[in-house]
Structure 1
Amino acid sequence: MAGEGTDAAGRASRRVVSHEQVVKAGVDHFLSRSTLDMEALAGELAISRATLYRVAQSRDALLTDILRTITEAMLRESRAARTKDGFDGVIEVSRHFGEQLRSPIIERFLKQDPEAAARTLFTPAGAVHESAVAAQLEIFAETGLTERLRRDGDDVQLAYLYVRTVAAYLYSEFFTGRRADFDELVPALRSLLLSRSQ
């Protein structure tokens, strides 16, 4: 995609930016501001606002890509920090992810832009949610939990329910003001996982 601008002599120039470049710049922008200002981001990329929208499609679409990228990075770090296997390993990853979620950057975003947060983070059809479910299936496999699940169940549905349970509990902290104690959630998660174990 080409962006319009001017060179040192004031002549019209064109700058090519890819979707990947826009998302990468968007992540940096979000991490420094806890929000997404499309006009400011266009300026940082030295492209027009119209070009940014052509590449990103919409603010919500770009915000979804940004949050998915950040969430995936947090999950990778949480998975790398895992020391246990089985049920304990799955819960260990979720606990570590919950600790990362308490970042002031995420907290400010949820409080300042709750409607956008709801659209991009909490909609089951959204890319952030789909990515989290896919990652949870991999976590089940990495910890050896998949081998312990009954074959008469739907692993994708289990991962979906697990992700929704964890997200609903952890994100509620930002809207209720009550700090989420992950230990309170563990029995429910164990019950959910054990209900499918052989």
Structure 2
Amino acid sequence: MRVVSQERVVRGGCAFFLRHGTLDMDGLAGSLSVSRATLYRVVHGRDPLLGEVLWRLAERMLARAHAETTSPGLDGVLETTRRFADQVRQAEPFLAFLHAEPATAARVLFTPAGGVHARVVAAQRGILAAATDPAWSPGDLDGAAYLYVRIIESALYAELLGGHRADPGTTERAARAVLEAC
């Protein structure tokens, strides 16, 4: 039996996902030259691995969007979100995954099964903390980040969740309202 680290599996999973728009555990095991049983021992299932892969890819896009943002304050938060959403909408492997596996995508993106949502909220909390009045309490930031992310998710994944596209203008007004209310 060949030993493989979780980090190597996640990096391999990211590369596999970007090439194929999915994460086939047999294919990934083969590409890592390990057995499927070894792969599952390391990552404990496809959903947790998909969650880690999707988060790693999203984290890179979010960091890029944040680094490219030029506006200060709440306008900067919204600009970062627009930039991130544009990158997501252009990520062909991710779009292929959403269309091919909508139930899995919803489970991994929005529930604790994949852990993506909680990580996105934590990242958004950091963006809000850097861009807003230091008088906000941690509870205000937590609540604002959660609501803000849910609004953005509902728009970004509207086709997955409800079968239709969300209006970007309405989404941004709703997101701004959450930020200004805190």
Give the alignment's TM-score, normalised by structure 2.
Answer: 0.92
Q: Distance in 1 between matches of 2:66 and 2:134?
A: 18
- Which of 142, 151, 155 matches 1:165? 151
- Which of 84, 100, 114 matches 1:112? 100
What is the total number of aligned residue pairs between the two structures?
Answer: 181
What RMSD, in angstroms, separates the aligned Cα atoms of the two structures? 1.8
Deviations, residues 37-89 of structure 1 (Å, cap 9, x unaligned) = 00010000000111001001001111111111111111111111110111100
* Equivalent pair of 2:61/2:84 in contact (CA under 8 Å): yes
**SS in structure 2 opposite 1:17?**
coil
Q: Highest CA radius of gyration, 1 or 2?
A: 1
Deviation, structure 1 residue 113: 0.6
Q: Equivalent residues in 2 for 1:1-198 (5 A)?
A: 4=1, 15-102=2-89, 103-123=91-111, 126-143=114-131, 145-147=132-134, 149=136, 151=137, 154-174=140-160, 178-196=164-182
* Structure 1 segments unaligned to the other structure (5+ residues): 5-14
* Structure 2 segments unaligned to the other structure (5+ residues): none
Q: Which residue of 2 aligns with 1:8?
A: none
Q: Distance in 1 between matches of 2:79 and 2:96?
A: 26
Q: Structure 1 residues 125 and 62, CA, compared in 2 at 3 Å: closer, same or farther?
A: closer
Q: Structure 1 residues 153 and 37, CA, compared in 2 at 3 Å: closer, same or farther?
A: closer
**Which residue type is aligned with residue 69 of structure 2?**
R
Q: Once superposed, which parts of structure 1, at least 4 consecutive aligned residues long, lie more than 6 Å away? A: none
Q: 1 or 2, which has the higher helix percentage?
A: 2
Q: Distance in 1 between matches of 2:135 and 2:180?
A: 9
**Which residue type is aligned with residue 101 of structure 2?**
D
Q: 1 or 2, which has the higher strand percentage?
A: 1
Identity over aligned pairs, percent: 46
Give the alignment's TM-score, normalised by structure 1.
Answer: 0.85
Deviation, structure 1 residue 91: 0.3
